Amino acid sequence: MTTNLFLKRKELLLFSAHGEHNSCCQLKNFIHCLNLFEKRRPLRFAYAEAETLMMNHLTLKENILLDGVTNSLCMSKEFQLKRHLNKEGRPALVELFTKIGDLELKPHEVSNETKKLTSLLKTLLKPSDYIFLESPELHLSENNLEVFIRALKEQLEKTEQTIFVFSRDEDLWAPYASKKILKGADGLIKVLLPSSFKKSSEKIAA
């Protein structure tokens, strides 16, 4: 059963399920929510897990290109993604891309933070109607988290996507969220408006 759930484009939603914190359960609950409220098929969503899973035998560049990035961006020897993002007016995404560093390295040769940046960039690049981010702040330094938040806000401005964020640090993401989707212990999916999940001193970020 549900109550008052309206999924709109170009908004960020907090997402949580009572008593369930592992990745498998959160992804399952997210898909269940989409199945209830999205009539279009197939469901098109991009997912970034809390602990980044990558193809270890591929370079970071190859992992980014694995799915979601158009063929025209990798037809030549020169990786054209940065130029494409500049052309599309995506400075925050370009900055996120630059933070990754050497794209010819493989996942086992880089830090958890670099892997996380690569995963988040790949998720934002993938053509989709919905994005599900699980603990996107995990492994990110304060500076890189600020860059990612700018990229996320830019994503909402430039696309028609709806972004769901699951995080144990909900206070971090609450200023950017328009609603909170909560699956209760009774299985009921509820919608909480900002006044019920934000601190009184918080305001939605401009």
pLDDT tens digits along 55-114: 999 999 889 888 656 555 554 444 678 888 888 899 999 999 999 999 999 999 999 999
Tens digits of per-residue pLDDT, 178-189?
Answer: 989 887 777 778
Q: Is the peptide bond before 175 cis (omega within 30 degrees of 0)?
A: no
**Residue 150, helix vs strand vs coil:** helix
Tens digits of per-residue pLDDT, 102-121?
Answer: 999 999 999 999 999 999 99
Measured between alpha carbons, how far is 13 from 143 in angstroms, rounded to an integer? 23
Cβ atoms of 14 and 177 within 8 Å: the answer is: yes
Over the Cα atoms of the chain, what is R_g?
A: 17
In Å, how far are 49, 71, 113, 146, 148 from 142, measured between CA atoms? 19, 34, 11, 6, 10
Residue ranges in 75-176 assigned as alpha helix (H): 81-87, 91-100, 112-125, 142-158, 170-173
Q: Band of the pLDDT at 28, cuts 50, 70, 90? A: confident
pLDDT surpasses 60 at 16 = yes
User: How far out from the chain centre does Cα 14 lie?
Assistant: 11
Measured between alpha carbons, how far is 92 from 69 in angstroms, rounded to an integer? 18
State both tokens at 48: 């970034």
Tens digits of per-residue pLDDT, 135-176?
Answer: 999 999 999 999 999 999 999 999 989 999 999 899 999 999
In Å, how far are 3, 11, 84, 162, 181 from 91, measured between CA atoms? 38, 20, 11, 20, 30
pLDDT surpasses 80 at 8 = no
pLDDT surpasses 80 at 12 = yes
Q: Which amino acid is at 56?
A: N
pLDDT of residue 196: 67
